[in-house]
Amino acid sequence: MQLLTAIRRTPLLWLLVFVPLVLALERLRPEAHTALFVLSILAIVPLAALLSMATESVAAKTGDTIGGLLNATLGNLTELVIALAALGAGEYTLVKASIAGAIVTNSLFMLGGSFLLGGLKYHVQEFNRSTARLQAGLLFLATVALLIPSAISRADATPEALFTEKLSIGLSVLLMLAYALGLVFSLKTHREFFGSAAHAVEEEEPWPIGVAVATLVVVTVLVALVSEVFVASVQDAALALGMTQAFVGFIVVALVGAAAEIASAFSGARKNRLDLSVGIALGSAAQIALFVAPMLVLLSYVVGPAPMSLQLWPGAVTMIVIATLTAALVTTSGRSAWFIGVLVLVVYATLALTLYLLPPPTG
Amino acid sequence: MQLLTAIRRTPLLWLLVFVPLVLALERLRPEAHTALFVLSILAIVPLAALLSMATESVAAKTGDTIGGLLNATLGNLTELVIALAALGAGEYTLVKASIAGAIVTNSLFMLGGSFLLGGLKYHVQEFNRSTARLQAGLLFLATVALLIPSAISRADATPEALFTEKLSIGLSVLLMLAYALGLVFSLKTHREFFGSAAHAVEEEEPWPIGVAVATLVVVTVLVALVSEVFVASVQDAALALGMTQAFVGFIVVALVGAAAEIASAFSGARKNRLDLSVGIALGSAAQIALFVAPMLVLLSYVVGPAPMSLQLWPGAVTMIVIATLTAALVTTSGRSAWFIGVLVLVVYATLALTLYLLPPPTG
Amino acid sequence: MQLLTAIRRTPLLWLLVFVPLVLALERLRPEAHTALFVLSILAIVPLAALLSMATESVAAKTGDTIGGLLNATLGNLTELVIALAALGAGEYTLVKASIAGAIVTNSLFMLGGSFLLGGLKYHVQEFNRSTARLQAGLLFLATVALLIPSAISRADATPEALFTEKLSIGLSVLLMLAYALGLVFSLKTHREFFGSAAHAVEEEEPWPIGVAVATLVVVTVLVALVSEVFVASVQDAALALGMTQAFVGFIVVALVGAAAEIASAFSGARKNRLDLSVGIALGSAAQIALFVAPMLVLLSYVVGPAPMSLQLWPGAVTMIVIATLTAALVTTSGRSAWFIGVLVLVVYATLALTLYLLPPPTG
């Protein structure tokens, strides 16, 4: 069976053993917050990898357009499911931190790591400059649109609840419309700019469609279950480990949720296929801004205890702006070397250090 | 007569019928604010178009250098006349909102619309990258110079009146000096980078110089008259229509004042001459920052009830920075497709939505 | 003797006469603050030039790698010595203003002046676009890393002393690590991108190693002595001359400290070797951010009366961001003309004017 072959071949998937462990522990000792926190992280990583493989397989079977659509929509499924669990528990700071963190992790850690790992093997790496610029442009515009309300109302200091709520809904609709048009653009009218990156990751035989769909469903349910354990334990565990909730959401959740994509991006860089790495990093960050974030705002009316706004705390706005500007600047030249990767990672480390040391934000 | 031919050929000019209408209504029912507001907008649009045609004709007759000078100086005449009327009435929020709005409208709405309209007709459009970069650079530097006092004193929270006033005068002189040097640069020493765009708009026979100059004078007077009606009615009309004064200045006045240029830019894009559209959009935005804004500050000592500073409210600073960064990023690659236009317009729509929903700023 | 030849040939070095003058005056009339202030400035300029010549000579004798290392480390020795004197006197506002000012002066005044002076002689000047982009990228990332704590904690308004201190140390270590890796990058693994700029300045015969080393030591001591006079007089002199301490640090100290490099950059531009000018300007600014600033923070534990943080006042953050964005934008096209220089200088003049007029910051 393909699934078992995949597990045997990919050491990352051996972590799947933590899935039953964490679910069992949660039954037996629900008060062991720190242990549950660590185990749930270890369990989510292989589930995210499986999810990504299954999505690829379904996409490969359903033809270019629908496949691309699936890839684009389910690519950040792990992030979405974790955030939904946090949304249901009313942990809005965690949700917002994980949205901001996912954008920053994709555009700094994933990109910087790819440049560094690729650069250690190759002297100078070239990648398609105009595609990268197009993608960096999309990412910049996507995050700008996402951040405008926070930036404007921060500046004018008028965070009246009703206005923020109306604005968040209006904006979410605008962003999702832009996302839908973006799919038409990248999958239909201008697919030649994006096509190559989407399918090149998967070099193995795709799974049979039945296995793939079943995996997709079962694993999504498992991610949801583990995420609930994770969200329930995060508050106390963070306290015990001396981390703020913002740090956990921004760094830990974002790294865990993006583990599968990070692996793909890094492996692309080691194969001197930096186009692939840049495409995954920038595309995934843009998807968070245009699709996941507004989706969560709209879902908060159904799932959460109260509506969630798109308003981020000022520090998060600054970090996202820094991250996307850095990504835009660094990809504009179409070439990279290891030290560029180092500097991008230094920016990421600085953000992480700041979040780790600073007292938690309010809101 | 050429003027009548122009009117017959250009449906936009049929709106001229609203000019006598609004002036008559103002006599008869000066309290009908909302009607006067709507009619004066409808009347300014064709006047702005006529003004632009007349300027082009005079410019065509007077040779390259003087013609270019005229085009550059009178290109934003409509905006200047409207702002002067608001200045005379002491409506400083409206003046400042219309300055900020003109920059944002030119660099987002005009550029995004051109990319979208051009992109719907052509798969990928190319434009001269180095000219666009030069112009985007000028625009960026111009707006940065304009915004520095707002940015610095916002950050340091010391808006003492005397300092702001001295700074505004000193800065206005600096900006206008830069503008004058910019004219030397674009009309004399380096005209080959700018030349093509200036005259290519007008493809019809230019009018006789007498007709053109007379039109220029008469229409400017008419714009001034209608602008006064507009400014007198805007406060109450905005209230009645549920719009803030910032929204009116930022969005409505800016769109009305730039109507003629918007038409030229869009028509250039439809003819696959994106160089033209980009040149109009970026050039006009830079002119507002380097010439119109400091001119209004200096004129406020003559015309207004009190001196006006260059200090913008923080939200406006953020919006202008976003707009010029977006314009710089989007033109850096020298190519465009319809979705780039969509994203630029989404950024614009987000700004408009935010301004529409947020309570009015103070100052 | 080479030293005397150099003095005879370089009119700038005639200013050396002010060195004994200022030291004598300090003995005789220590209360003549304004005179001491002016004389110490006049004395530091030629000392900085001598320091730069001696460093070049030592570097030329010690081979590429060690020479490059020396150039990179001692290139901003004057700034470092002045800042150390201020650090010892506990004048932290002056230290921070001079760090921020050095970055801004290098990336605006030096770059803009080079573009203007070069552009007055040559119609359009080309420089190596990819090298410039690489250097602008390094500068951007370096300043971003430097500014993150200020930006984040400004936004979140939690300047608790302990966090700021921990963060400053952690960050200083990160930055210096990045600097060390940057030396490996520019002197070993990728020296072909940087090599040309380093040695091209010096066209004269290098001095004998003994003379050069002796000059280096003696002049450093003299700079230290004069800097102490300067720092002791600056407070009262600034008051007498109507300047704020921020203005003195930001503009005066930065210009004085960088005088030698400014002369090299301008002379490169006049010889149509803009690569050289851009390399000096951007490289030196990056060095301040990655090496001088964190070094001063760490040294403040040894030298100063109390630990100094990396926290800059918000206006300085804004200025540095504006300066590095401007430098990045302006060098991205790989070509320049005189008006680009004018605009960059206008941005610089605006910053200087704002600092001159605004009341002093606190902190």
Nearest-by-Cβ selection for A359 from C148, C160, C178? C160
Residues of C in contact with B175 (CB under 8 A): 346
Nearest-by-Cβ selection for A134 from B123, B333, B355? B333
Q: In this complex, is the C-beta atom of B327 within 8 Å of any C-beta atom belonging to chain A?
A: no
Can you give the pLDDT at residue B198? 44
Can you give the pLDDT at residue B344? 92
Q: Is the pLDDT of residue A266 over 70?
A: yes
Q: Is C344's CB within 8 Å of B175's CB?
A: no
Q: Is C190's CB within 8 Å of A339's CB?
A: yes
C touches which chains (3+ CB pairs under 8 A)? A, B
Can you give the pLDDT at residue B199? 46
Residue A126 is given by DSSP the state E
Residues of C in contact with B190 (CB under 8 A): 123-124, 337, 339
ipTM: 0.81
**Token pair recorded at residue B243:** 């719009």
Please tell me the least confidently modeled range out of A347-361, B100-114, C26-40, C247-261: A347-361
Can you give the pLDDT at residue A200? 46
Task: Tell me the pLDDT tens digit for each residue of C276-310.
Answer: 888 888 888 988 988 999 999 999 988 878 888 88
Q: Is C178's CB within 8 Å of A346's CB?
A: yes
Mean pLDDT of the region C184-191: 82
| C337: three-class secondary structure by DSSP | coil
Characterize the bridge pairing of strands A335-336 and B125-126: unpaired
Rounded to a whole number, what is the distance in Å from the CA of A118 to chain B's nearest CA?
A: 25
Task: Tell me the pLDDT tens digit for each residue of C216-257.
Answer: 889 889 988 998 898 888 888 888 888 887 788 888 888 888
Q: Using CB atoms within 10 Å of the CB of residue B189, give its burial: 0 to 12 exposed, 13 to 18 middle, 19+ buried.
A: middle
Can you give the pLDDT at residue C363? 40
Q: Is A358's CB within 8 Å of C158's CB?
A: yes
- Percent of chain A, pLDDT > 70? 90
Residues of A in contact with B318 (CB under 8 A): 151-152, 155
Can you give the pLDDT at residue C39? 92
pLDDT band at A198 (very low <50, low <70, confident <90, very high): very low
Mutation test of the interface with chain C: which of B144, B158, B175, choosing the one with the most C Cβ atoms within 10 A? B144
pLDDT band at B358 (very low <50, low <70, confident <90, very high): confident
Mutation test of the interface with chain A: which of C148, C187, C189, choosing the one with the most A Cβ atoms within 10 A? C148
Q: Is C134's CB within 8 Å of A333's CB?
A: yes
Task: Tell me the pLDDT tens digit for each residue of C52-86.
Answer: 888 878 877 776 677 767 776 777 888 888 899 98
Mean pLDDT of the region A31-56: 87
Can you give the pLDDT at residue A102? 93
Q: Is the pLDDT of residue A157 over 80?
A: no
Q: Is A315's CB within 8 Å of C163's CB?
A: no
pLDDT band at B3 (very low <50, low <70, confident <90, very high): confident
Rounded to a whole number, what is the distance in Å from the CA of A223 to chain B's nearest CA?
A: 33
Chain A's closest residue to B124, CA to CA, is A190
- Percent of chain A, pLDDT > 90? 13
Q: Is C350's CB within 8 Å of B140's CB?
A: no
Q: Is A343's CB within 8 Å of C166's CB?
A: no
Can you give the pLDDT at residue A129? 77
C107 vs A352: CA distance, rounded Å? 28
Please give the mean pLDDT across all residues of chain C: 83
pLDDT band at C197 (very low <50, low <70, confident <90, very high): very low
pLDDT band at C126 (very low <50, low <70, confident <90, very high): confident
Please give the mean pLDDT across all residues of chain B: 83
Q: Are B255 and B262 in contact (CB under 8 A)?
A: yes
Nearest-by-Cβ selection for C155 from A318, A338, A343? A318
Residues of B in contact with A309 (CB under 8 A): none
Q: Is the pLDDT of residue A202 over 70?
A: no
Can you give the pLDDT at residue B362? 46
Can you give the pLDDT at residue A199? 46
Q: In this complex, is the C-beta atom of C317 within 8 Å of any C-beta atom belonging to chain B?
A: yes
Please tell me the least confidently modeled range out of A69-83, A143-157, B189-203: B189-203
* CB interface of B with C, residues 165-224, below 8 Å: 166-167, 170-171, 174-175, 177-178, 181-182, 184-185, 189-190
pLDDT band at B348 (very low <50, low <70, confident <90, very high): very high
Residues of C in contact with B309 (CB under 8 A): none
Rounded to a whole number, what is the distance in Å from the CA of A118 to chain C's nearest CA?
A: 14
Alpha-carbon separation of residue B89 from B45, B220, B306, C320 (angstroms): 22, 18, 10, 39
Task: Tell me the pLDDT tens digit for each residue of A288-315.
Answer: 988 899 999 999 988 878 888 888 877 8
Q: In this complex, is the C-beta atom of B349 within 8 Å of any C-beta atom belonging to chain A?
A: yes
Nearest-by-Cβ selection for C181 from A314, A339, A354? A339
pLDDT band at A349 (very low <50, low <70, confident <90, very high): very high
Q: Is the pLDDT of residue C111 over 80?
A: yes
Q: Is B148's CB within 8 Å of C354's CB?
A: yes
Total CB pairs under 8 A between chain A and B: 106
pLDDT band at B363 (very low <50, low <70, confident <90, very high): very low
Mean pLDDT of the region B49-64: 79
Residues of A in contact with C175 (CB under 8 A): 346
Mean pLDDT of the region A21-42: 89
Task: Tell me the pLDDT tens digit for each residue of B262-281.
Answer: 888 898 899 888 888 888 88
Can you give the pLDDT at residue B101? 92
Chain C's closest residue to A328, CA to CA, is C137
The secondary structure element, H or E, covering residue A247 is helix A245-247
pLDDT band at B64 (very low <50, low <70, confident <90, very high): low
Task: Tell me the pLDDT tens digit for each residue of B101-131.
Answer: 999 999 999 999 999 999 999 998 888 877 7
Q: Is A351's CB within 8 Å of C148's CB?
A: yes
Can you give the pLDDT at residue A64? 67
Q: Is the pLDDT of residue A168 over 90?
A: no
* CB interface of B with C, residues 134-163, below 8 Å: 134, 136-138, 140-142, 144-145, 148-149, 151-153, 155-156, 158, 160, 163
Residues of B in contact with A163 (CB under 8 A): 357-359
Q: Are A148 and A289 in contact (CB under 8 A)?
A: no
Mutation test of the interface with chain C: which of A115, A133, A357, choosing the one with the most C Cβ atoms within 10 A? A357
Tokens 């160089």 belong to which residue?
B275
Please tell me the least confidently modeled range out of B348-357, C195-204, C337-346: C195-204
Can you give the pLDDT at residue B140? 84
Chain C's closest residue to A330, CA to CA, is C137
Mean pLDDT of the region A10-22: 83
Can you give the pLDDT at residue C198? 44
pTM summary value: 0.84
Can you give the pLDDT at residue B105? 93
Give the helix ranges, DSSP H, for chain B. 2-9, 18-28, 33-61, 64-74, 77-88, 92-104, 111-121, 129-156, 161-183, 195-200, 209-241, 245-247, 254-257, 259-270, 274-287, 293-299, 314-331, 338-357
Q: Are A140 and A328 in contact (CB under 8 A)?
A: yes
Better-scored residue on pLDDT, B145 or B316: B316
Q: Is the pLDDT of residue C13 over 90?
A: no
- Percent of chain C, pLDDT > 70? 91
CB-CB neighbours of B5 under 10 Å: 12
Better-scored residue on pLDDT, A184 or B363: A184
Vertex C82: Cα angle to C203 and C307 (nearest 5): 135
Q: Are A278 and A115 in contact (CB under 8 A)?
A: no
Q: In this complex, is the C-beta atom of C318 within 8 Å of any C-beta atom belonging to chain B?
A: yes
Q: Is A174's CB within 8 Å of B123's CB?
A: no
Task: Tell me the pLDDT tens digit for each residue of B318-327.
Answer: 889 889 888 9
Rounded to a whole number, what is the distance in Å from the CA of B190 to chain C's nearest CA?
A: 8
pLDDT band at A115 (very low <50, low <70, confident <90, very high): very high
Total CB pairs under 8 A between chain B and C: 107
| A295: three-class secondary structure by DSSP | helix
Q: Is C189's CB within 8 Å of A329's CB?
A: no
Task: Tell me the pLDDT tens digit for each residue of C137-160.
Answer: 778 877 887 887 777 665 555 556
Better-scored residue on pLDDT, C173 or C134: C173
Can you give the pLDDT at residue C108? 94
Task: Tell me the pLDDT tens digit for each residue of A61-113.
Answer: 776 677 767 776 777 888 888 899 889 888 888 888 899 999 999 999 999 99
Nearest-by-Cβ selection for C149 from A154, A333, A354? A354
Q: Are C141 and C327 in contact (CB under 8 A)?
A: no
Q: Is B351's CB within 8 Å of A148's CB?
A: yes
Find how far residue B254's CA is from the centre of its chain.
Answer: 6
Tokens 């904690």 belong to which residue?
C153
Residues of C in contact with A340 (CB under 8 A): 134, 137
For B335, list phi and psi in degrees, rounded to 5: -145, 155
Q: In this complex, is the C-beta atom of B357 within 8 Å of any C-beta atom belonging to chain A?
A: yes
* CB interface of C with B, residues 92-131, below 8 Å: 123-124
